[in-house]
Amino acid sequence: MKRLISIVGTTGIGKTRLAIDLANHLGTEIISCDSRQFYREMKIGTAMPTESELAEARHHFVGNLSIDDYYSIGLYEHEAIEKLDEIFAEKDVAIMVGGSGMYEKAVVEGLNDLPEADEENQKKLIDIFENQGIEPLQKLLSELDPEYFSVVDKDNSRRLLRAIDIIWQTGKTYTENLSLPKPQRHFETFRIGIEAPREVIYERINRRVDIMMENGLLEEAKGLIAHKDKVALQTVGYSELFKYFDGEWDLDFAVSEIKKNSRRYAKRQMTWNRKLGNVNWVNYDNSVEEALSLLKNLPM
């Protein structure tokens, strides 16, 4: 049986480092399931692996798209499974890492046979988003499916649009749709989660944002102003700085909002990962040794 080692955890917890170290130890490759890191124009704000990190181990689905490209979780599932088949043709194990829970779950468990986007629904929802902002979409989804709303990235307009569209089309909550039978996988998944006390996670996030600013996040966001309405850019780290460029906020406040929204995102990730129920947890300050110890007991 081929095995996928999936590394989960909050933003800024050290997943990239653990993935690279395990990939090198096991002589294999890494698949990213971080939907923000797909876009090559968003290197700094998404904490994309650096050139030196990418050179340490072979990565897939990192900087592979442009913000102008159409992409979906369904497309990702199809392409990720194809890539895993290629890796498993030569190796017995592969690594997957990233903070996007739905994308990780799509690979591990498969997506339900959900309908394609309804053009009329999409037009209606995009019109709401462009004219009234994201808040009405958040309110609508919270009313239609409070369970999914409790775990979804509430600042990701694409996720909100997709969920509402499916609910309207099927007459079932998105949660109910996601619980329908899924395709069988021909590999076994072993999840490793990195954990840390909440205060450590928040401290690391705050420091990470400071480092992003030192590394040129402001200039990166400035270069993307003309594209700020793209769905890919409706995300933490960019939407706050666009408000600074628009004169709504001063820079210090915008940076403090990036930190606050990143902490909120981490809290949602913690909620999501707790619900997975089959995660083998390792400590953030000893993750490699503990992960290798866990893997030592598995038949390879």
Which residues are known binding-site members? 9-16
Q: Would you give the distance in Å from CA 49 to the centre of its chain? A: 14
Count of other CB atoms within 10 angstroms of residue 249: 17
Known binding residues for substrate: 11-16
Helical residues (DSSP H) of 133-197, grouped into ranges = 135-144, 146-149, 157-170, 174-178
Known binding residues for ATP: 9-16
Q: Which of 155, 173, 154 is nearest to 114 (CA)?
A: 173
Q: Which of 7, 49, 70 is nearest to 61 (CA)?
A: 49
End-to-end CA distance of the chain: 9
What dihedral do alpha carbons 3, 81, 114, 118 form, nearest 10°? 150
Angle separating helix axes 251-276 and 198-214, nearest 10 degrees:
140
